[in-house]
Amino acid sequence: MKEIKLKGLNQTIYKEKTKNNLDIYMIPYDNKEGFTVNIITKYGSNNINFIPKNKKEFKTFPLGIAHFLEHKLFEQKDGIDPFMFAAEKGLDCNAFTSNVITSYYLSGTNHFDEALEYLLNLVYEINLTDENIEKEKGIIIEELKMYMDNIDFKIDLAMKSMLYHNHPNKDDVGGTIESVKSITKEDLLECYESFYEPSNMFMVISGNFNIDNTLKIINDNKLLKEKNSSFEISNQIINEPLKVKEEYKEIFENITNNKLCYAVKIPYVNIDKFVFRSYIKNYLSIKIGNISEFQYRLKKEQKLNFLGYDIEDADDKLIIYIFVETDDYKYLINELDKELSNKIILKEDLERQKKVQIAKEVSKTDYFNIMANLVVSDVILSNKVYENRIDLIRGLNIEEFSSIIESIDFTNKSVLVVKPKNN
């Protein structure tokens, strides 16, 4: 078992691997009541074109199939369904699908052993019937409709269709009503058998639990033991050009206030992803964050109502999203162009940012569920846990910062303006 000591955070994570290559990350806390058990497959909505297990040719699957499969794993053959199991033990159970993973969890304060056993049995067995698949379509279509009424969701999808040419990030995780209707039992089985292999999955367990006992339950699990394939997924390689697909678009929606989404597409440079992302987030915070001269000035001029930002991974590229609410979007676009291209950064600003970033890392260790999410994010990002995260933050320096920012072309952008329909 490997001990991963998070330097400067007074926290240790333990990593073990089963004989059939399921990675297990354990974060024990002795001063907490609760626990969370998560099992994750590196299979998300983006995996729609791959060579299924025991096949030789690439096959394209309907959009939204990973999410559909997530719903279907909640249908148990003989035993009680997960919601009922959780209710009977006073636990919380759920799952979610993203572009790159599907994650299942059970959390609570009692019945740890049964929760762990149950979650393993849940993902390593599937019960598909034509009847239960048809029933699920109705539920999923209502879920899609709920999102279709959500303006932020609509903006997100519209924006992605402007940024990406081919990358599946452009599609809704849940698929479309048509694609969901077209999903068959055979499709679901092929995806399940290909991606729900221990070697393509990992577990993150955090909170109040005993490590030895946990490993014993995992190693003794009958269904997991039976999974002995060394199958490796061949996903279709995505050829996504760096240049954005569409630079400017205006759309009309049922909204009261103008909204502006400004997104920049940049390539990852050849340094550690954690470090690169830290520089980008710090740059955004310094330039256009709450503390920036930019926000201060535009708010004073009453040109800016709200500004927020986020970043998104797309394999070897990174997308910076900036969301703005303003009455004068033309002015704001121009101001953002100028601000992001003005690449002067002060050392003192970076040092202040580092202080904030370190404080946030310390605060995260107070909460076992946040730490579980941190491990999941690290593993997805770089297939490891960043044990030296505090040192990496301390090591951020103005020379490297300036040179990275200097190399970025902030003009490779898509701008979406959303206007009220009745104007």
Partner 1 sequence: MEYIIKDCDKYKIHFIKTNAFKSISFKINFIFPFKEEYQIIRNLFTEYMDEGTKNYNTLREMEKKKRDLYSAATRINSRRKGKLFSIEFDLTILEEQYTEENMINESIKFLKELVFNIDEKDGQVDSNKLQLCKKNMKKVFGDMKDSSSSYAHLRTMKLIDEKEYTKIGFFMQDKIDEISEKDIVDFHKMIINNSNIEIYAIGDFDNDQMENLIVENFDLKSKNSDYSNLKFINHEEEIILKDIVEDYDSFQSKLNMVLKIKRENDKRNNIIKRLYNTILGGGPTSKLFTNIREKNSLAYSCSSIYMEKDNLISIKSGIDSSNYDRAKELMINEIEEIKRGNFEEKELENAKLILLSELKEVKDYQIAILNSYIEDGIINESEEKELINSITKEEIISLANDSCLALIYFLKGDRP
Q: Does 87 bind partner 1 (CB under 8 A)?
A: yes
Contact between 423 and partner 1 by CB under 8 A: the answer reads no
Token duo for residue 5: 């000591």
| 96 binds partner 1, rule: CB under 8 A | no
DSSP 274-341: HHHHHHHHHHHHHHHSTTSHHHHHHHHTT--SEEEEEEEEETTEEEEEEEEE-S-HHHHHHHHHHHHH
**Contact between 2 and partner 1 per CB under 8 A:** no
342 lies in the binding site for partner 1 (CB under 8 A)? no
- Cα–Cα distance for residue pair 157/312, rounded to 1 Å: 13
Binding residues among 189-228 for partner 1 as defined by CB under 8 A: 207
Region 97-116 residues binding partner 1, contact defined as CB under 8 A = 108-110
Q: Cα–Cα distance between 221 and 393 in angstroms, integer?
A: 40
Can you tell me which of 79, 138, 241, 308 binds partner 1, judged by CB under 8 A? 138
Of the candidate residues 157, 189, 233, 255, the single one contacting partner 1 (CB under 8 A): 255
Among positions 84, 242, 251, 271, the unique one binding partner 1 when judged by CB under 8 A: 84
Say if residues 415 and 260 touch (Cβ distance below 8 Å): yes
Q: Is 86 in the site for partner 1 (CB under 8 A)?
A: yes
Does the protein bind partner 1 through residue 402 (CB under 8 A)? no
Q: How far apart are CA 179 and CA 176, in angstroms?
A: 5
Q: Which of 187, 171, 44, 155 shows the shortest CA–CA distance to 102?
A: 44
- Among left, alpha and beta (phi > 0; psi -120 to 50; other), residue 15 is beta
Say how many C-beta atoms besides its own lie within 10 A of residue 131's C-beta. 8
Site mask, partner 1, residues 12-51, x = CB under 8 A? -------------------xxxx-----------------
Q: Using CB under 8 A, which residues numbered 257 to 276 contact partner 1?
A: 257
Residues 6 or more apart in contact with residue 91 via CB below 8 angstroms = 85, 106, 107, 108, 110, 111, 115
Site for partner 1 contains 140 (CB under 8 A): yes
Q: Is 244 helix (H, G, I), strand (E, B) or coil?
A: coil
Is residue 286 at the binding interface for partner 1, with CB under 8 A as the rule?
no
Q: How far is the CB of 362 from partner 1 (least distance, A)?
A: 5
Residue whose CB is less far from partner 1, 314 or 371: 371
Enumerate residues 6+ apart whose C-beta is below 8 A from 381: 273, 274, 277, 313
Residues 1, 250, 296, 377: which binds partner 1 (CB under 8 A)?
296
Site residues (CB under 8 A) for partner 1, limited to 346-385: 352-353, 355-356, 358-360, 362-363, 365-368
CB 387 within 8 A of CB 374: no
Tokens of 182: 């077209």
CB of 373 to partner 1, least distance (A): 15
Neighbouring-strand partners of residue 39:
104, 203
Nearer to partner 1, 254 or 342 (CB): 254
- Could you say whether residue 306 binds partner 1 (CB under 8 A)? yes
Q: Give the footprint of partner 1 on this chain (CB under 8 A).
A: 31-34, 83-84, 86-93, 108-110, 135-136, 138-140, 142-143, 145-146, 148-151, 207, 254-257, 289-293, 295-296, 299-300, 302, 305-306, 325, 352-353, 355-356, 358-360, 362-363, 365-368
